[in-house]
Amino acid sequence: MNTQHTISTTQARKDIFTITRDVQKPGRYYTLTENGRPKAVLMSAEEFESWAETLEVLRDFPDLDKHVAETDKAVKSGEYKKWATLDDLKKDFGFVVADKSAKKYGVQTARRTKGAKKHT
């Protein structure tokens, strides 16, 4: 299945409603041309947001592939079991960690005042 279509901007103007429906299908996009030269690409908003997010992650973590390879290696060797847990890091920064053995999770948002009924 060919998911890329190349059409002129003039033709795109005529078919805009059909094109906007078509690009909602995964992987579909249109290259719009002017005088035979590519000028713009039309894709779904969801697809565009996904691309933009991917580019942002790649900018923020330029060595991501290296880190993923290191993590894979650590998982295979068992080295990751020595790494600090999220709970360890929270404690280091002074956060209160839930008592998992008591099965009490969450954050208390309101204090009971003397005489107030307890909500269950």
Q: How high is the pLDDT of residue 90? A: 87
Q: What is the pLDDT of residue 112?
A: 56
Query: Domains of the chain, with CATH numbers?
Result: 4-46 (3.40.1620.10), 63-95 (no CATH)
Block mean pLDDT (10 aa), the chain, length 120? 85 96 94 96 95 93 91 91 87 78 57 58
pLDDT of residue 106: 57
pLDDT at res. 120: 52
DSSP letters of the chain? Answer: ---EEEEEHHHHHHTHHHHHHHTTSTT-EEEEEETTEEEEEEE-HHHHHHHHHHHHHHHH-TTHHHHHHHHHHHHHHTGGGGSPPHHHHHHHTTPPPP-GGGT--S---SPPPTTPPPP-
Q: What is the pLDDT of residue 80?
A: 86
